[in-house]
Amino acid sequence: MLLILFLDFWLGTDAVLSRPGLVLSVLALTTVLLAAGELADMFSNAASRVDARVLALASFAMVLVTCVPVLWDDYPADCALGRFGFSLSGVVVGFVVLIFMEMVSFQGETDVRGEIVDRIGRGALTLIYLNMLFAFLLNHRFLNGDNRLGLLAIVTLITTVKLSDASAYFAGKSYGRRKMAPKLSPGKTIEGAIGGFVGGCAGALIVIYLVGPWLFQTNVDKAWWWVLIYGVLVTAAGMFGDLAESLIKRDTHTKDSSRWLPGLGGILDVVDSLVFAAPVSYLLWI
C-alpha cells in the first residue's frame, strides 16, 4: 500500500506526469472487476442467474468513464460536465451495457415472469453501490488540485475507517455484552461500536496532525473539533456500510462475499465500510 501511494504521488508531481490518481484508477478498475464478480455470485439464485461477465463488463465500463478526468494534465475549470459528471455518466454507460447485453442474449419469452427486469435491477444496484465508493474516492484525489492534500485525504479516510473497524473488533471481543444489530450482524456489540468511534477519531487525529506534516509535508487547515467531527461521522458511515453489506449477505444467504482472502472473506468484505464513508468524508473535506 505504501508503494502504491508513493507511486501515485510521484506520477502526480509536476516534474513527472502531473497525473494524480493514475495508479488509483488502475487499482479501482482491478478492484471493481473482483467486487462485481462477488456481487454476481451473491445475487444469483435458481430463479434468476446473474452473469458475472456481464456485471463485470458493465462495472468496468462505469469506472473507466469515472476515471476519465485523471487523463487531464490541468482539468478545465469551465468544463460543463465536471468531474462528478463523469461519475454519473459512468453509471449511465454501465446501465446501457446491462440493457444491451440482455438484448443480445434474449431468446424470446422467459420461463419466469420478470426474470430479465430482475437481473437488470440487480445490475443497477451493483453499479450504484460500487460507484458510491469509486466516484467519491477518486474525487478525494483531486481536492483543491493539490497532489499532497488529495493523497492525505484518502489516507485519512482509509485510516479512520480501518482503525475504527479494528478497534470495534477488539473492544467487542474484550468487553462486548449488548448486541447492536443481532438480526443483521450478531457479532456486533454496542461496546464494540464505542471502541470503533474511539479508534476512528484517533485515526483521523494521527493522520492529520502526525502523518500529514511528517510524511506529506502538509498541514491541514482544520480546527481540532473538525477532526473529531470527521472521525465520528466517517466512523458512523463506515458502520452503516458494514451493516448494509450484512443485510445483502443475510438476504442472499452468504457468509463471506468470497474466500480468496483467508480470515477476511472477499474484496467486498474489505471495502464495505468505505462505500458509505467515502461520500461523507468528501463532503466534510469540501
pLDDT band at 129 (very low <50, low <70, confident <90, very high): very high
Lowest mean pLDDT among 155-159, 178-182, 235-239, 261-265: 261-265
Cα–Cα nearest to 94, from 70, 45, 130: 130
- Mention every residue, 6+ apart, whose C-beta is less than 8 A from residue 19: 11, 12, 70, 71, 73
Q: What integer is the mean pLDDT of 183-197?
A: 89
Per-residue pLDDT tens digits for 53-71:
999 999 999 999 999 999 8
Query: Which is higher by pLDDT, 256 or 159?
Result: 159
Per-residue pLDDT tens digits for 254-275:
888 887 777 778 899 889 999 9
Residue 83: the pLDDT is 87
pLDDT band at 185 (very low <50, low <70, confident <90, very high): confident
pTM for this structure?
Answer: 0.91
Query: Which is higher by pLDDT, 43 or 60?
Result: 60
Confidence check: pLDDT of 48 > 80: no
Confidence check: pLDDT of 31 > 90: yes
Asked if residues 69 and 58 have their Cβ atoms less than 8 Å apart, the reply is no
Alpha helix stretches (DSSP H) within 189-251? 190-206, 224-251
Confidence check: pLDDT of 47 > 70: no
Query: What cell does 8 get?
Result: 501515485
pLDDT band at 173 (very low <50, low <70, confident <90, very high): confident
CA of 220: how far to CAs of 13, 99, 150, 233, in Å? 19, 45, 11, 18
Confidence check: pLDDT of 17 > 80: yes
Residue 255: the pLDDT is 83
Q: What integer is the mean pLDDT of 82-93?
A: 93
Confidence check: pLDDT of 42 > 80: yes
Q: What integer is the mean pLDDT of 132-160?
A: 92
Confidence check: pLDDT of 46 > 70: no
pLDDT band at 81 (very low <50, low <70, confident <90, very high): confident
Residue 284: the pLDDT is 96
Cβ atoms < 10 Å from Cβ of 140:
24
Query: Which is higher by pLDDT, 49 or 27?
Result: 27
pLDDT band at 140 (very low <50, low <70, confident <90, very high): very high
Cα–Cα nearest to 89, from 71, 70, 63: 63
